[in-house]
Structure 1
Amino acid sequence: MGLPERLVSKRGSRLARLALMPFNISIPAAVEIGKDFRLVHYGFGTIILPEVTIGDRVRIYHQVTVGRKDAHLTRDQSGFERIVIGDDVVLFPGCKVLGGPGVTTIGNGTMIGANAVLLTSTGENEIWAGNPARLVGHRKDL
């Protein structure tokens, strides 16, 4: 486990959150994170909203954002509830996962391509790419 993952695991501490600042990582204490979580390439620039659940063995590369697609609205006006990221998910560099009304779910084993902008829930073991992201294939390695 690298330094960023150790700091993220202690993100309830103000000191740990401050130590993440040089990495430009914002992962609030309210984010639920499963086992064997990895920030690949130190996860530079990773931003995750508090209303996110991350499964086991998830890999997040640098410059990833997990948030709301209706950020222009106040929380009271938004129908957004949360984002659930399943087990064995890979979020490649620069991708954006933007949840809409209700719960947005990224299925187990799904991969979101570099710089993709995902605006919807996915199934399991899918590969999504593009802006807006669309289903381009299925994983066969799991």
Structure 2
Amino acid sequence: MEAVEMLVRLRLRPGIGRVANAALHVLGVDFPASVRVGPGLALPHGAVGLVVHEDTVIGANVKIYQGVTIGRSDTHLTGARADGGRVVVEDDVVIGAGAVVLFRSGSTTTIGRGAVVGANAVVLRSVPPGEIWAGNPARPTRRSEPSS
């Protein structure tokens, strides 16, 4: 297990959690303790620059590369609700370097099981299971190949 992945796991432990969270911030990773994470999270390259919204749910065997942002898209709008909404990343998803996955307050953006979000893609709506999305704004390019 990589050091950053270990710190993400330790952030939930009483006492050491604060130290782990501080270490993540020093490494340029904003990964709040409220984020629910399944087993097998992989953060290649230390996930430098990773920012994850506090209400995000991440499934099992997810790989998130460096420079990814998962968060709200409408914080700039006057009168936008500050509560509700989140991103749900289902099992076996890959989110490429520099990708941005956004939700609007009060709604959920889901990255379906086995989906791939390409590098530097900007996802503004849910991605169905097994699809590969790329571009800005992100659109489906093709179905991903099932892993054996």
Q: Smaller-chain TM-score range?
A: over 0.9
Instruction: Check whether the contact 2:74–2:80 (CA below 8 A) recurs between aligned residues.
Output: no
Partner of 1:107: 112
Q: How do 1:1-142 residues align onto structure 2 when only pairs under 5 Å count?
A: 1-12=1-12, 13-73=17-77, 77-78=81-82, 80-100=84-104, 101-142=106-147
4+ residue stretches of structure 1 with deviation over 3 A?
A: 73-76
Contact kept in structure 2, 1:68 and 1:80, CA below 8 Å: no
1:79 Cα offset (Å):
6.8
Structure 1 residue 73: Cα displacement: 3.9
Q: TM-score, normalised by structure 1?
A: 0.94
Aligned residues: 142
Q: C-alpha distance in 2, partners of 1:73/1:67? A: 15
Unaligned regions of 5+ residues in structure 1, if any?
Answer: none
In structure 2, give the amino acid aligned to 1:51.
Answer: D
The alignment's C-alpha RMSD in Å is: 1.6
What's the % identity of the aligned pairs? Answer: 42
Separation (CA, whole Å) in 2 of partners of 1:79 and 1:136: 33
Task: Read off the aligned partner of 1:4 and give its amino acid letter.
Answer: V
CA distance in structure 1 between the aligned counterparts of 2:116 and 2:57, rounded to whole angstroms: 16
Measured in 1, the distance between the counterparts of 2:102 and 2:84 equals: 10
- What code does the residue aligned with 1:72 have? H
Instruction: Tell me the amino acid that sits aligned with residue 135 of structure 1.
Output: P
- Look up the SS of the partner of 1:26 in the other structure: coil
1:74 offset after TM fit, Å?
A: 7.3
Q: CA deviation at 1:75?
A: 8.8
Change over 3 Å in CA distance of 1:8–1:41 after alignment to 2: same
CA distance in 2, matches of 1:62, 1:17: 17
Contact 1:28 1:48 in 2 (8 A): yes
Gaps of 5+ in 2: none
TM-score, normalization by structure 2: 0.90
